[in-house]
Chain A
Amino acid sequence: MAVQTVASATDSTVDLGPAAALSCRECGHRVPLGPVFACEECFGPLEIAYDFSAYDTEELRKQIEAGPANIWRYAPLLPVPADVATKPNINPGWTKLVRADNLARELGVTGGLYVKDDSGNPTHSFKDRVVAQAVEAARAFGYTTLSCSSTGNLAGAVGAAAARAGFRSCVFIPHDLEQGKIVMAAIYGGELVGIEGNYDDVNRFCSELIGDPAGEGWGFVNVNLRPYYAEGSKTLAYEICEQLGWRIPDQLVIPIASGSQLTKIDKGLQELIKLGLVEDKPYKIFGAQAEGCSPVSVAYKEGHDVVRPQKPNTIAKSLAIGNPADGPYVLDIARRTGGAVEDVTDEQVVDAIKLLARTEGIFAETAGGVTVGVTKKLIENGLIDPAKSVVVLNTGDGLKTLDAVAGTGLTATIRPNLESFREAGLA
């Protein structure tokens, strides 16, 4: 079956595979593919419009299943050239979808509970997926420097990808991030700049730098390359469905920082439906935030369709975006699919990190604590149906946020003899 999805004609000579143009999510205004991110008419976000018209569903499925064990198996659905797998890049993805039966028993889930564990990516967070896309866009547009505003994970992913793909990198982070994330971002040899302020201040700085001659020629992965970068999150939807046997789960719990990941997972699911790769069935998307940075959750609960920014104060620093760019779309998607947006306290985040580790052997960073904590809360308040399948995202590795679980340590310190061992009650 041939599928017509969005675009009918290629608007640009840039070779980014099926990407045909940029289209404003707000007003539909179209512009050729280029390093632009905001609509010149209404400031709305520009997104990739594709031409999938040539695809035959079963041939596409076979091509994907025969592809590499990384995100490039989905190259026909991404803004990348067809030969992307041959280029130097970080090649993330195809991470484990863990069937979490022990956690399911603790939470009372009987319909199947899964953890999509993206700590298995090259720099141990989902950010490798989006950065890999941005690298290909940067190559296509002739950039030689990669940059970003980051809460930590992205800085590491950009540093690593730049090293592998042969770019200079200069990335910007809040100066007070977790030490593990600072080291992880710096080790790849690029420039790492701490900004005296929170993430929203860093983001504002980068947005101004991009319009200044000082930032000319720089590819900011999450600013001027954002339309391409963001598409990387679609691969989470593709992988989850393929790993479930080309099936959409009934319920997904996704963390919200800017909200981009959640909106692109929804876009990925809709594409799979339109392409005929999965059955068209209802699914619910739930967004998860920490209480100390919960602008989208607050807007959801108050019934608003706009998001009032907050000043973040939470241990979940990778989600600490007080002014989330895609917040309004998260609200639309949660309401359209019958999901919800919920938040948990920092104490609940820590409890959830420990719960996931204790039951499934998965050590999540704070963002994973947020999703597991919110899943527990949504089951308790009846919004998640435990008799139906649930996929919970863990987007990063707990080794990056050790401070969050400080105090977890030795059970006992003993002398090296059996008597001491018995005295400690360990026998």
Chain B
Amino acid sequence: MSVTVRIPTILRAYTGGKAEVAAEGTTLGAVIADLEKNHAGISARVLDDQGKLRRFVNVYVNDDDVRFEQGLETATPDGAGVSIIPAVAGG
């Protein structure tokens, strides 16, 4: 299962400046683990010490906020778009 992951500016140091990268995995957790294999260090920025999504990170699979879905267990179908976005915007 291949998905496209949109990388926020503050994580592009890990992707060689790329705003979008491909990753494999049938769940969001697996996609993040795959990202880590190819872009070492990125996982620790997105996940906390307990392996949960950090509280100031929003992740969307296609148009769905994963907190309304199954968090890291959210399915990532083939061809899905995953967006990682800082949560501290707006208001």
**Contact yes or no, A212 B45, CB < 8 A:** no
Contact pick for B60, options A45, A204, A222, CB 8 Å: A204
Cα-based distance from A42 to B86 in the complex (angstroms): 10
Interface of A is mostly: loop
Which residues of B have CB within 8 Å of A40? 10, 13, 45
B35-74 toward A: CB 8 Å interface, digit per residue (1/0)?
A: 0000000000110000000111110100001011000000
Count of interface residues, chain B, beta-carbon cutoff 8 Å: 26
A215-254 toward B: CB 8 Å interface, digit per residue (1/0)?
A: 0000010110010001000000000000000000000000
Cα-based distance from A189 to B87 in the complex (angstroms): 30
Cα-based distance from A65 to B85 in the complex (angstroms): 43
Which residues of B have CB within 8 Å of A41? 45
Within 1-28 of B, Cβ neighbours of A (below 8 Å) are at: 6-10, 13, 19
Contact pick for B90, options A36, A306, A321, CB 8 Å: A321
Known contacts A43-B45, A210-B9; A149/B90 CB under 8 A: yes
Nearest-neighbor residue (CB-CB) of A310 within chain B: B68
Which residues of A have CB within 8 Å of B91? 222, 226, 230, 257-261, 321, 324-326
Cα-based distance from A200 to B13 in the complex (angstroms): 27
Interface of B is mostly: mixed
Cα-based distance from A259 to B65 in the complex (angstroms): 20
Cα-based distance from A200 to B68 in the complex (angstroms): 13
**Contact yes or no, B55 A199, CB < 8 A:** no
Contact pick for A208, options B54, B65, B85, B90, CB 8 Å: B85
Cα-based distance from A212 to B45 in the complex (angstroms): 21
Contact pick for B89, options A26, A44, A226, CB 8 Å: A226
Nearest Cβ on chain A to B72's Cβ, whole angstroms: 15
Q: Is A203 an interface residue (CB 8 A)?
A: yes
Nearest Cβ on chain A to B35's Cβ, whole angstroms: 15
Nearest Cβ on chain B to A402's Cβ, whole angstroms: 24
Cα-based distance from A38 to B11 in the complex (angstroms): 11
Within 9-37 of A, Cβ neighbours of B (below 8 Å) are at: 26, 36-37
Name the 4 nearest CB pairs between A and B, nearest first.
A258-B91, A38-B86, A45-B88, A203-B90
19 contacts between A and B (CB under 8 A): A42-B45, A42-B54, A43-B54, A43-B57, A44-B56, A204-B83, A206-B90, A207-B58, A207-B86, A208-B85, A211-B7, A211-B9, A212-B19, A226-B89, A323-B58, A325-B88, A325-B89, A325-B90, A326-B88
